[in-house]
Amino acid sequence: MVKQLPKRSEVPTEETWNLKDLFATEEDYTSALESLQKEVTAFEKKYQGTIKTAEQVVAVLKDYEAIYLQLIPLGTYTNLASSVDQTDDEAQMRDSQFGSISAKIGSQLSFVTSELLDLSEEVLQQAMEQSEEYSHYLKELIREKQYRLHPEVEKALAAYSSAFDAPYGLYNTTKMVDMNFEDFTVDGKAYPLSYVSFEGDWESEPDTKKRRAAFDAFSSKLREYQHTTAKTFDSHLQIEKITSDLRGYDSVIDYLLFNQEVDQSMYHRQIDLITEELAPHMRKYAKLLQDVYGLEKITFADLKAPLDASYEPKITVEESKKYINDALAIMGPDYLDMVKRSYDERWTDFAQNKGKATGAFCASPYGTHPYILISWTGSMEDVFVLAHELGHAGHFYNAHKKQNAFNSRPSTYFVEAPSTMNEMLVANHLLSNSEDLKFKRWVISSIISRTYYHNFVTHLLEAAYQRKVYEKIDAGGSVNASILNELKRSVLEDFWGDTVEINEGAELTWMRQPHYYMGLYPYTYSAGLTISTEVAKRVLDEGQPAVDDWIKVLQAGGTKTPAELAQMAGVDITTEEPLRNTIAYIGSLIDQLVELTEQINAEAQLTNS
């Protein structure tokens, strides 16, 4: 039974993360912010107009990094505090205030990049030779040079950064504060509904009447806010289009791919190949669900239903430790120590409460430990989600040890590989520990419905839809709710064909995803999982040598391109082979589910006869 969500003040402290590791008191935060503002002003006065030689380049970068290191915990603190309770006016105002101050700081510091890029490449090369620590940063700066604008324009754009981020803030406020869901009714009985309870419980409810009723009620509320949400999204898109044009990119897609360090061929291949070749496998999975549930027709609202609800164990946070530790033990003692600390030191916010951001994420501020947000419902899916976020934590835990603050973050194309790698390790561990048919089916169905459905279907179809949106924006157009609904429905219908009925409300799923405000992010989930599927096979086949390679990849942080990082792990993502291998693997898992279901049904018939 899903209960009404408590207020943030009502949840147990042990279920929340400990932000005191960032700032022990509010006074400490305020003092640090005031100190930073003074240092930025002094930095600007000391260095502006003085950067001429290689020695001066190294000196300014050293002090620039010191300021950056002070900025990180401040932004993390305000963002995390607001993400767990969007109804907390004080936290929201603090976050908004920091955004404005951060924009001013960014404007004050914009001269650094502009003056560095005004130098000759000869001077920059000399600085790279003098300082290995900053050589990668300077190399990336040179790559960006052709798209930089006049220093005064860059300063103005930096000053507007918090205003440019406003659509994302408005999206979250609409979603988490203004939307209040009424109870829905099935057979005369009322059930509570919220964003968190729908995505954490009702969407995968085994009772078809309740699942479909919850979907209809949830969609009905989304529909009330579709025009505001569409206008918010269009504002974000127009900002991206203007910025892309100003900087001289050929398209918004090129602009958004630049920092990912991949070209359009890798982007389009990921979407096109999966849409075309994975669809037949997923339609077979949908048909299996339809048969198991005895449905006359399967709808979009049924696709997250568990294959065997009777075999789904409820798992507490405490019980999750054994699953996580056993599955990730192969990563070594240092990695497991990080996992242990995450529990012991309250790195994770497990609570369910009103106003908390949906989904899950891991923030990894340089200079302190990672923070994980999740809303624990007690399902096995939560174990996979936690393992996923610990994958992000383990990535930056390792990268921060070996790289400076400028070099620690890799391209977003690669960033989901370490997270999905952990999901694969959990799945492989569970599969290797039982020969029971029903348990094997449950594990494989968890891999399909959680890991691959989430990353290769949900996020991939978001990417296909997102590409259609940017094609319109690049052609000089804009979008509204009707256009977005039409685009989303067409993507779903193309993928699922006649197998799944795309029922009313499915077209509104574009409203649920915050990733659209983070550039071309959705497709990177399938890209990361393609890499991690191949690496997980290596780990199974080769053991420690593959793990050692993977740890080196994590430690490399952002010092290499996605293709180079994957190559270090033994995967060549410049070809179609890894992606085709992964799609074939998904197909083989679905075939196993069909075979196991037939075997289980046959045994049940023998037992009953």
Domains delineated in the chain: 8-164 (1.20.140.70)
Q: Are 529 and 416 contacting, i.e. CB atoms less than 8 angstroms apart? A: yes
Q: How far apart are CA 189 and CA 185, in angstroms?
A: 5
Q: Which of 254, 283, 258, 324 is nearest to 457 (CA)?
A: 283
Closest by Cα among 459, 415, 7 to 194: 7
Distance CA 48, CA 112 (A): 7
Mean pLDDT of 96-104: 93
Q: Given the structure tokens 């600085």, which residue do they identify? A: 127
Q: What is the pLDDT at residue 609?
A: 65
Quote the strand ranges of 164-277, DSSP E. Answer: 184-186, 189-191
pLDDT digits (tens, 9 = 90+) for 370-406: 999 999 989 888 999 999 999 999 999 999 999 999 9
Looking at the predicted structure, is the pLDDT value of residue 2 above 60?
A: no
Token pair belonging to 516: 């659209």
Q: How many Cβ atoms from other residues are within 10 Å of residue 62's Cβ?
A: 12
* pLDDT at 577 (0 to 100): 95
Helix/strand/coil percentages in the chain, nearest 5: 70, 5, 25
Q: Quick one: CA dihedral 430, 431, 434, 438, positive or negative?
A: positive
The answer to whether the beta carbons of residues 275 and 464 sit under 8 Å apart is: yes
Rounded to an integer, what is the distance from CA 528 to the centroid of its chain?
11
Nearest to 511 by CA among 286, 61, 146, 178: 178
Which pLDDT score, from 0 to 100, does residue 581 have? 94
Among 128-137, 450-459, 484-493, 572-581, which is the least confidently predicted range? 450-459
Residues 6+ apart with CB under 8 A from 426: 323, 324, 327, 328, 383, 384, 387
Tokens 């003040």 sit on residue? 9
pLDDT confidence of residue 380 = 81
Share of the chain above pLDDT 90, in %: 85
**What is the rounded distance in angstroms from the CA atom of residue 126 to the CA atom of residue 272?**
44
pLDDT in tens, 333-374: 999 999 999 999 999 999 999 889 888 999 999 999 999 999
CB atoms within 10 A of CB 191: 18
SS3 state at 250: coil
Task: Examine the pLDDT at 158 and tell me if it is beyond 50.
Answer: yes
Report, as an integer, the average pLDDT of 5-19. 94
In whole angstroms, give the CA distance from residue 159 to residue 153. Answer: 10
- Single-letter residue type at 322: K
At residue 229, what is the residue type?
T
Q: What is the rounded average pLDDT for all residues in the chain? A: 93
| pTM of the full structure | 0.87
Alpha carbon distance 605, 595 (integer Å): 15
Confidence of residue 106 (pLDDT cuts 50, 70, 90): very high
Tell me, what DSSP letter sits at residue 476? T
The answer to whether residue 1 scores a pLDDT higher than 50 is: no
Containing 38, the helix (H) or strand (E) segment is: helix 26-47
Residues near 554 by Cβ (< 8 Å), separated by ≥ 6? 394, 395, 398, 399, 418
Q: For 416-471, what is each residue's pLDDT tens digit? A: 999 999 999 998 898 887 778 888 898 899 889 888 998 899 999 999 999 999 99
Q: Binning pLDDT at 50, 70 and 90, where does residue 608 land?
A: confident
CB 3 within 8 A of CB 83: no
- State the alpha helices, DSSP H only, in 475-521: 481-496
Query: How many angstroms separate the CA atoms of 318 and 477, rounded?
Result: 51
Q: How do residues 469-494 score in pLDDT, each as one tens digit? A: 999 999 999 999 999 999 999 999 99
Q: Count the helices and strands in the chain (H runs, E runs).
A: 26, 7
For residues 43-70, average pLDDT? 96
Q: How far apart are CA 386 and CA 76, in angstroms?
A: 20
**38, 48, 188, 260, 474 from 191: Cα distances, Å:** 54, 61, 10, 44, 44
Q: CA 19 to CA 176: how far, in whole Å?
A: 21
- Alpha-carbon distance of 107 to 113, in angstroms, equals 11
Q: Work out the pLDDT band at 55, boundaries 50, 70, 90.
A: very high
Q: Are strands 371-373 and 361-363 parallel, antiparallel or unpaired?
A: antiparallel
